Every structure is written in C-alpha cells, then in structure tokens.
Structure 1
Amino acid sequence: MLNFDIFKQKSPKQRFLLILGLIMFVFYVVLGLAFVFYEPIALRLSTIPEWGRIAIGIFLIIYAFVRLLSLGRRD
C-alpha cells in the first residue's frame, strides 16, 4: 500500500532530502537504462563485455528502486 504521509508538511531539511532522493532515483534509472540500451557506451567501455554492461545497467535500476523504497520508509 502506498504511504501518502510522505506528502505532508515537512521541515525544509526533510523536504530537501526528499527532493534529492527523488532526483537520485531518476538519475540511477536513466544511467541504468543508458548502460542497457545506449550503444555508444558499449564503444567507450570496450573492455566490458555486453553481458557485463547489461548486468551493470540492471543492477543500477534495481538499486534505484531499493533507494526509492527506503526513501518512502523514512519518517
């Protein structure tokens, strides 16, 4: 179930950390998708095999969602 208490009035510090957490979530998802789908990264990282590049991308996406879940559980 979604916790909508996250949108209640917060102190400026808590609001800043919430916004920073959401920005970092988006950053990790975009970076993970870039590793998986963006071909020029494959050329620059030629020492990493394709399966390794895809594994890094998937790990980054999973890590982004773990961070988002932990962000929602904080008080």
Structure 2
Amino acid sequence: MLNFDIFKQKSPKQRFLLILGLVMFVFYVILGFAFIFWKGLNLNIPHWGKIAIGIFLIIYAFIRLLSLGRRD
C-alpha cells in the first residue's frame, strides 16, 4: 500500500529527501526518454540497446517513486 500521508508536516531532513527523490525520479525519466528518442546521442550502442537502456531507466524511476511513497 502507498503511504498517502506523504504531504503531512515533515522534518526538514525528510522534506529535503522527498524533494530530492522527486527530482531524481524526473531525472531518470528524462534520461530514459533521451536514450530512446534523442537521435543526437552519439554512443557506440546499437539502437535496440538504447531502447533497452531507456526502458530500464524509466522502470527504475517508477520503482524509486514507489519506494519513496512507502517510506515513513
């Protein structure tokens, strides 16, 4: 179950970690989409490899978001 009390009053440390977790979620999603759709990303990786890395990063971002919601 998700903890929907995430927006209750928190200590400054907990609030910082929540914001940092949300920023990292957005970062991983953007990075995943960049691997999939950005043609200017000149890496020596085949196209299917870029798609696999992008999907992995997006899934990892959502797993991090779920674990962020479960913390007390």
What TM-score, normalized to structure 2? 0.95
Question: CA shift at 1:3, angstroms?
Answer: 3.4
Residue 14 of structure 1 corresponds to 14
RMSD: 1.1
Distance in 1 between the 2:9 and 2:63 partners? 24
Q: Which has the higher contact order (CA 8 A, sep 6+)?
A: 2
- The gaps in structure 1 that reach 5 residues or longer are none
Residue 66 of structure 2 corresponds to 69
Q: Larger % of helix: which?
A: 1
Q: Is the 8 A contact 2:2 2:66 kept in 1?
A: no
Q: 2:64 aligned with 1:32, yes or no?
A: no
Question: CA shift at 1:25, angstroms?
Answer: 0.1
Length, aligned pairs only: 72
- The gaps in structure 2 that reach 5 residues or longer are none
Question: CA shift at 1:68, angstroms?
Answer: 0.1
Q: Percent identity?
A: 82
Q: Which amino acid counterpart does residue 4 of structure 1 have in structure 2?
A: F
Question: CA shift at 1:21, angstroms?
Answer: 0.1
> Which 4+ residue blocks in structure 1 deviate beyond 3 angstroms?
none
